[in-house]
Amino acid sequence: MSVISDYIGVSAVQNVKNAIEAAKRSEGFNALLSLSEERALERAAKVDAGEISGRLAGVPFVAKDNFLTLGGTTTAASDFLRGFASPLQATAVERLEAEGAICIGKSNLDAFAHGGSTENSAFGPTKNAVDDTKVAGGSSGGSAVVTALGIVPFAIGTDTGGSIRQPASFNGVVGVKPTYGTVSRYGVVAMASSTDTIGCFATNAADAELVMDIMAGKDANDMTTLPDFFAPEQPATLKIGVIKEAMTDDVDAEVRASVQAYVDGLKAAGHTVEDVSLPMLKYALAIYYIVVPAEISSNLARYDGIRYGNRADATDLTGVYGKSRDAGFMAENKRRIMIGSYVLSSGFFDAYYLQAQKARTLLIGEFDKLFERYDTLVTPVAPTPAFAIGENATDPVKMYLADVMTVPASLAGLPAISVPANPTAAGLPVGVQLIGPRRSDARLLALAKSQEVA
Amino acid sequence: MTTTSVTRDDVLHLAQLASLQLTDDEVDALQADIGNILGYVAQLDELDTEGVEPTYQVTDLENVWRDDAVRLSNVGRQELLALAPDSHKNQIKVPKVL
C-alpha cells in the first residue's frame, strides 16, 4: 500500500507512469474499467513544469466510474452508459485536480452503484485485493481494491448505504462516508438523493482527512451542500458507545473479536467506553430497502435512451424506452426500480413509503439521544468478512443483509468511517465503523488516526 | 422469512409504470424477488408510528435560493447534441410518437 507523501516532491510523470504500470499488472482483479493515460500524463507534465501546484500536486488517484470525468468514459458499470464520454467533470474531481491531483482511471462498481459486492457490474466482478476468490465488496469495490493494492494512494467513491465503508472493510483500507451534504454531488450519477454521499478511500486516516478537506464545501451546482465545516482536529478523549445490537451472535465471531480488540484499544488509550442500545438498528435495513428503491425508481427514470446513453432499436417511442431500459439495466437495477415503483404506487404508498419515512424519524431520534451522551458510536462495518464470489448472488435479501450495519448512518445523514481492525485467522480484513453526530467527520478521523499502529 | 404475494399481473403492471420491457424469465424472477423483499420490509408494520412525522431529507438546510439569473454553461450545444444517439439539424431525433 502507498501513502500520499510518497508521491509529493517527486516526478509527477513518473508517479503516473508507475501507477499505470501497476494498474496494468493488476488487471486480473478487474478493479479498473478504464485508464486515462494520455490526459493523466499531460497533467503530470504540467505539474513537473510548475504550471499546476497544490496540496496533491502530482498525486495519482482513481475515481469510481459514476463520477463524470474528462478524457475518458463514464459508464456507471452499465450497458446503458457503455462508451459514454462526458463533456463535463464532477465538482469533487475538479476540486482534487485544482490541488494538483491526477485522475489516472475509473474503477468498477455495481452498475449504478446498486449492490454490495461489485458483482452486479456489466463488466464483470472485481476481485478482493487480499483473496481473489472473495468479493471486493461494493458498490465502490474497484476504488477499495486499487487503494489496497497500492496502485494509487487514494481513490474516491460514493456511499449511499455503505458503498464506501463495506468495501473498505473487505479490503483493509480506511473508508470515509461524510455527513450528508459535505461534498458536492454535481456530476455524479444519482442513486438515492436523500442518502447519496461522496467520500474516499486511503491507506491511513491522515490521507483520508486531507482528501476530505479538499473535497468538502459548498457548491452552487448542488443545493444540498453544506457550508464548509471540515477542519482537521487534534484527537481528544471521548465518550464512546458500542452499539450492543450490532455485536450479537448474528455477527461473525471473528468480526466481533476484532471489533472488541479495537474497542479495548480505545479503552487503553483513555477513552470512556460503554455498551449502548440502538433498538431501531434492526429496522434500519427494512427502512432503507423501501426509501432507497423509491428514490432510485425516480432518479433512474432519466435513462430513456433519448438524450444520451445507448438506445435500443424500436419503431415507436414506448418501445425505445422499454427496450433501452431493459437492455441498459442489470437485474439488480430492475429489481430496485420495480420495488420503488411498487412502494410509491397509489394504494401502497402509506403502508410502505410513508411508514418507512416515519420509522426513519424514530431511528434518527434514537441516534440523537445517544449523541446527547456519547461522542462516537462503534459497530462492525459488516456482519462478516468478504464473502465468496457468487455466494449471495441468487438471493437479493441475503445480499442486502451485508448492509445492515452501514445503512443506519446513511438514513440519518451521519458521518461514519471504516477503519481496519485485526484480520481474521485466514487473513481476511475486518473493519470497525465509527459513527458520529452530523459535522463530526474530522473528530472521527482524528480518533482513527490516534489508534493507528505506526 | 415471510413473503408477500405478488401476482404476475402485478409485475407486468409495475414494469409498465417503470417503462421496462421485460422478458418472460425476468418477469418470473422478479415476481419471486419482489415478494421476498416486500416480505422482509413488512416488519416495519410492528412499529407504532402514530403521530410521528416522516423524514424526507436529512440536511438542516431549508429553502436554498439562488439568483434568478442566466448562467452560461461551460458545455456547448453541439457537445450535448453529440451525446444523443440520434440527431438531426440541431435537434434530438426520436421514433414516431403518435
What is the distance between the alpha carbons of residues A79 and A398, in angstroms, rounded to a whole number?
25
Nearest by CB to A325, from B11, B19, B76: name it. Answer: B19
pLDDT in tens, A317-329: 999 999 999 999 9
The residue among A304, A341, A344 with the most chain B CBs within 10 A of its CB, best to mutate, is A341
- Break chain A into its structural domains and give their ranges: 1-278+378-454
Give the CA distances from residue A150 to residues A61, A153, A173, B23, B96, in Å, rounded to whole numbers and listed in that order: 11, 6, 10, 43, 52
Secondary structure class of A311 (helix, strand, coil): coil
User: Nearest CA of chain B to the CA of A217: how many Å?
Assistant: 14
pLDDT in tens, A14-52: 999 999 999 999 999 999 999 999 999 999 999 999 999
Kindly report the average pLDDT of chain A as a whole number: 97
Amino acid at site A226: L
What is the arithmetic mean of pLDDT over A60-64?
98
pLDDT, residue A454, reads 54
Nearest by CB to A355, from B6, B15, B44: name it. Answer: B44
Residue A109 reports pLDDT greater than 70: yes
Contacts of B44 (CB under 8 A, 6+ apart): A283, A286, A287, A290, A352, A355, A356, A359
pLDDT in tens, A267-305: 999 999 999 999 999 999 999 999 999 999 999 999 999
User: Nearest CA of chain B to the CA of A76: how many Å?
Assistant: 16
The 10 Å CB-count burial string (b at 16+, else e) for A274-291 is: eebebebbbbbbbbbbbb
Do B84 and A195 lie within an 8 Å CB cutoff? Answer: no
The torsion defined by the Cα of A128, A133, A139 and A145, in degrees rounded to 10, comes to 10
Instruction: Give the confidence band of B1 by pLDDT, cuts at 50, 70, 90.
Output: low
Residue A4 reports pLDDT greater than 90: yes
Catalytically active residues of A are: 64, 139, 163
Amino acid at site A18: N
Residue B74 reports pLDDT greater than 90: no
User: Nearest CA of chain B to the CA of A304: how many Å?
Assistant: 9
**CATH class of residue range A1-278+378-454:** alpha beta
Q: Structural domains in chain B? A: 8-46 (1.10.20)
pLDDT, residue A162, reads 98
Are the C-beta atoms of residues A151 and A143 closer than 8 Å to each other? no
What is the distance between the alpha carbons of residues A89 and A64, in angstroms, rounded to a whole number?
13
Radius of gyration in angstroms for the set of CA atoms belonging to chain B, rounded to a whole number? 23
pLDDT, residue B5, reads 85
Question: Which residue matches cell numbers 431525433?
Answer: B93
Residue B4 reports pLDDT greater than 80: no
What is the distance between the alpha carbons of residues B38 and A111, in angstroms, rounded to a whole number?
22
pLDDT, residue B62, reads 87
pLDDT in tens, B21-67: 999 999 999 999 999 999 999 999 999 999 999 999 998 888 889 89
